[in-house]
Each structure stands twice: as C-alpha cells, then as structure tokens.
Amino acid sequence: MEQKSNAVDRRRFIKQASLATLASGALLSWSTPPLQPSGGSLNDINIVGPKDGYSPQVGTLVSMMNWMRYVILRPVQGMSTKDLDYLVDDKAKTIGAMLYHLAATERFYQVDTFENRAWDDWDAADAEEFGVAMGLGDAARASIKGNPLEFYMEKLDRVREHSLIELAKRDDDWLLSVDQDWPWGPTNNYCKWFHVVEHESNHNGQFKFIKSRIS
C-alpha cells in the first residue's frame, strides 16, 4: 500500500514539473524557486544525499537525477517547435532530437539494469519508439522534427517515472553490484546510472550553445 502511494506521489510530482516547465515562457534565474523535481519537493532540490523512500545510496543517486533534470529543462522552457527543430548546420543535432535522445538513453539503461538484459536486447516497441533517437545522426535529422515541447516532455516524464518506481524497489547492494562484461570494463549499476546523469549534463551544454545561435 505504501509503495503504491509513493508511486502516485511521484506521478504527481512529474506532472507538476511538466506543467511548470510548459507554462513558463522565459528562463528562470537562480533566485527563482526551482521547478518541482520528479520524485522530490521544492525544498530539497539542492540537497544531494539520501531521500525518503529509497535506500541511502539509491536516494543519493535520485537526488542527482532530480537536480540534473531541473538544470537541463531550464534552457528549453518556452521553446517553440521551430526553436526545437533549429539546426546550426547540416551535421548538427536539434534540441528536440537531443531531448528525445535523453529519454531513449534512460529507457535503454532501464532495460539493461532493471531487466538484466544485454545492451541492444530491446523489445520491438522500445526499438521502434527510441531506436532512432538513441542513434541520432541523419535518421534523427530526417524524422525527429515538427513536435512541440510537450511531445518530448511526455517521453522524458514517462521514462523518469518508471526509473523512480524501479529504483525504489532496489537497495544499495544492487546499486553497487558489478557487471563484469560491460564494454567499458567492470562497471557497477551506480556508474551506469551516474552516466545517465552526466549524459544530461553533456547535452545541457549543447542546448545552451544552440539556443545562443537561434535568432
């Protein structure tokens, strides 16, 4: 019963975060109260550490996921479809495609770590929805366009909701368990999920650069 209640609370937080993002037409300053983070509250966005409903290390990871998600949404608030489709040149990525890519990355790490499946062992539905976005490149430039911000937010929120629900079921031993066969070499689940966080940080820089070039 408590687990069901936690899931409902997380769903409410995610929905509120989306509404707050889409309602604002301008960037927030650091002095402005932050967006409602997924799975957290307005009061603890800058507190990295254990969180209620999670084991200590898992909660610390979730706090980093919340903070980074808030940061990457700041540059895209109020963007039009035209802005989201803007290409700096014919080899560049659009902000819309990269938002989709972030949802795809998180989804595929869910499959790997929560379902204990090999990389590229995706269900047909996941491959169809997220395969192009994961690869980016020419295929993404050709097909990921013409969508409003709500389109990308739905995917980011839906995937994140599943992450939070699944992470609440797991403990620190799971987070620290090591995959000996990972391409990077021995890698634990903590490193894989930290990569999901820093991957968003990487694209955040691209968002800001592209936004500075939009006339």
Domain ranges of the chain: 2-213
Q: Distance between CA 138 and CA 144 in Å, rounded?
A: 10
pLDDT tier at 119, thresholds 50, 70, 90: confident
- pLDDT reported for residue 36: 46
pLDDT tier at 1, thresholds 50, 70, 90: low
Q: Quick one: average pLDDT of 97-104? A: 97
- pLDDT reported for residue 203: 92
> In this predicted model, what pLDDT tens digit does every residue of 164-189 receive, in sequence order?
999 999 999 999 999 999 999 999 99
Q: Distance between CA 57 and CA 182 in Å, rounded?
A: 21
Is 1.20.120.450 the CATH number for 2-213? yes
4 or 45, greater pLDDT: 45
- In the predicted model, is pLDDT for residue 111 greater than 90? yes
- Which uninterrupted H or E stretch holds 109? helix 95-114
